[in-house]
Amino acid sequence: MKFELTILGSSSATPVFNRNPSAQLLNCNEKFYLIDCGEGTQQQLIKFGLKASKIDTIFISHLHGDHYFGLIGLISTMHLNGRIKPLYVYGPAALKDILDIQFKYSDTVLRFQLLFNPVVADEPRVIFQNQDVVVETIIMNHRIPCTGFKFSEKKRLRKVIADKLEEAGIAPEYYPLLKKGLDLTLPGGRFIKNSDYTVDSDAPKSYCYCSDTLADGSYLESLTNCTVLYHEATFLHELIERANTTHHSTALQAAEIAQEVGAGKLIIGHFSSRYKVLLPLLEEAKGKFHSTELALEGHTYSI
Amino acid sequence: MKFELTILGSSSATPVFNRNPSAQLLNCNEKFYLIDCGEGTQQQLIKFGLKASKIDTIFISHLHGDHYFGLIGLISTMHLNGRIKPLYVYGPAALKDILDIQFKYSDTVLRFQLLFNPVVADEPRVIFQNQDVVVETIIMNHRIPCTGFKFSEKKRLRKVIADKLEEAGIAPEYYPLLKKGLDLTLPGGRFIKNSDYTVDSDAPKSYCYCSDTLADGSYLESLTNCTVLYHEATFLHELIERANTTHHSTALQAAEIAQEVGAGKLIIGHFSSRYKVLLPLLEEAKGKFHSTELALEGHTYSI
């Protein structure tokens, strides 16, 4: 299935010229998930030719403004543009109060259902699943309750070896059962051993989003088998003390975590506004974990 | 004094490509006033090289999101950038609740004083003044309580006729009193008639901001002696019924109002997202009131 990530915002705390606060759009099998929604996310969607109307599910990591100030505007625009299908929002419980007070005073009654699901940042939990993906929280260590999110593909069906099945005269009507991994006994008693006619599918892929966190390793277990890891890298490692004080990570620490969990690829983002040029952050991370890329707004990364 | 307006946002309801929701920056004698603050206003300030730190006073017309969703982000950025001087905010009382709940859950204690002044949309009132300007509310007729704002220069001092004063041997120490319009009797009994030695200064200028309103003329009196009138013109007049239903104005109606109050210039804005090209709106307004301009983002208009 299609599984790709588009960066909409890569800045920490405040927007700076050409960088917007955190937001990412994940496409899993042509279903669109928005991860965080800093101010201006709807403008970024317009800029990159992405349709807000395609987003059905939104995950908000925590209630620092650079991760959610754009949500009320995005929802209002969906309403004004005539949306009728439901919108699912996952985030800290208080987010609902913040949205509701603004709907109240603008006298807005949404034309669609906003289905709000409070997320508790106490331990990793499955908070969402459909036929394509499972989403689990990752418990971050930040100044306020904060979760990351792990998106894992559902286990795929086995691949049938069509030539061999045809040669053996096994009718295509049995393929779906074989894809599911079943051994079969056909009418008449012929036994079909699944492993003779199918092979394992590719391993399910996963995308882990580590929003804002002290890089204390407390969440490493959640990153097991991570295909692509996004990890915040607010600072260069020379500012490790600042990172510790503010409960953020350095580029080097993000790389160490990617290495430790054996991630397939690392994307770093949430860059401090002090960095006009991002190359030193990339170089610092690549020195420890080669397969690192910068989160660049408008770029799409294959998972 | 310097008296000029920069448009930061000109779109109604939702942002569209290249147009952002309502926000304007007014420079009165190098003091900066922000009028409305739609989502992305802080990004617009960055884009146009304007410093958020220079803004000391913010006026919010009403609680539809396209006029204030950017406020919490702008204030947060001021905080994160180390602001210490106070910020004055004028707007509907509930705006304070909306800000406070977001500060609470992000665990933000502002390092500067946010001095909030609730504005009641019942009748025109003076809500602010300093040595440069007086600000009065204009009562709009919108779907929720809404005010516009009239910024009037303070009455200027009279101009002294320096040559004539010198010739008459009147010492410069008396000029400040003459500028204030006083007749003087000098020590020794010489009488100086003010009008012989001074002339009237230029008439004070004013800028009227009519945010969102049905163009029902109920607020015409507030627009007396308006030098520059900004009036919303959400629709072309062919959509007058839509304008009436949504309590908005057409370009033609904005022009009629400018004509009726004898404004020096009209700026139209708050354009519906349906208009990719704005020229028809301009032409419609100019047909009735020639001295009309479009509110174009990043453009500065002299008052």
Write the pLDDT tens digit of every residue in A271-294: 999 999 999 999 999 999 999 999
Catalytic residue among A56, A66, A100, A122: A66
pLDDT surpasses 90 at B265:
yes
Distance from the Cα of B14 to chain A's closest Cα (Å) equals: 6
Distance from the Cα of B197 to chain A's closest Cα (Å) equals: 54
CB B181 within 8 A of CB B194: yes
In chain A, where the domains are located: 3-156+202-302, 159-199
pLDDT surpasses 90 at A153:
yes
pLDDT for the residue numbered A156: 81
What ipTM, to 2 d.p.?
Answer: 0.87
**pLDDT tier at B121, thresholds 50, 70, 90:** very high
Task: Measure Cα distances from B116 to B60, B72, B92, B96, B288 in Å.
Answer: 11, 13, 10, 7, 40
- B73 chain-A contacts, CB cut-off 8 A: 15, 39, 65, 69
Over range A71-96, report the average pLDDT.
97
CB A92 within 8 A of CB A119: yes
pLDDT surpasses 90 at B124:
yes
- A69 chain-B contacts, CB cut-off 8 A: 39, 69, 72-73, 76
Over range B244-248, report the average pLDDT.
98
Contact B81 A15 (CB under 8 A): no
Q: For A42-46, A199-203, A244-248, which range has the lowest pLDDT when averaged over its residues?
A: A199-203
Contact A39 B70 (CB under 8 A): yes
Catalytic residue among B36, B66, B122, B200: B66
B106 in contact with chain A, both atoms CB, cutoff 8 A? yes
Q: Is A142 annotated as a binding residue?
A: yes
> CA-CA distance, B43 to B250, in Å (whole number)?
29
pLDDT for the residue numbered A54: 97
Residue A117 CB partners (closer than 8 Å, separation 6+):
A88, A89, A90, A127, A128
CB A254 within 8 A of CB A277: no
Task: Measure Cα distances from B222 to B71, B117, B135, B143, B249 in Å.
Answer: 27, 21, 11, 20, 17
CB B259 within 8 A of CB B292: no
Over range A144-172, report the average pLDDT.
93
The string of pLDDT tens digits covering residues B267-291 is 999 999 999 999 999 999 999 999 9
pLDDT for the residue numbered A157: 86
B175 in contact with chain A, both atoms CB, cutoff 8 A? no
pLDDT surpasses 80 at A17:
no
Asked about B66 being catalytic, the answer comes back as yes
Fold of A3-156+202-302: Metallo-beta-lactamase; Chain A (3.60.15)
B94 in contact with chain A, both atoms CB, cutoff 8 A? yes
B143 in contact with chain A, both atoms CB, cutoff 8 A? yes
Q: Is A212 annotated as a binding residue?
A: yes
> CA-CA distance, B285 to B266, in Å (whole number)?
9
Q: Is B66 annotated as a binding residue?
A: yes
pLDDT surpasses 90 at B18:
no
Residues 49-78 of B with CB under 8 A from A: 63-66, 69-70, 72-73, 76-77
CB B302 within 8 A of CB B265: no
Using alpha carbons only, what angle is made at residue B131 by residues B126 and B137, rounded to the nearest 5 degrees?
A: 20
pLDDT for the residue numbered A204: 92
pLDDT for the residue numbered A13: 86
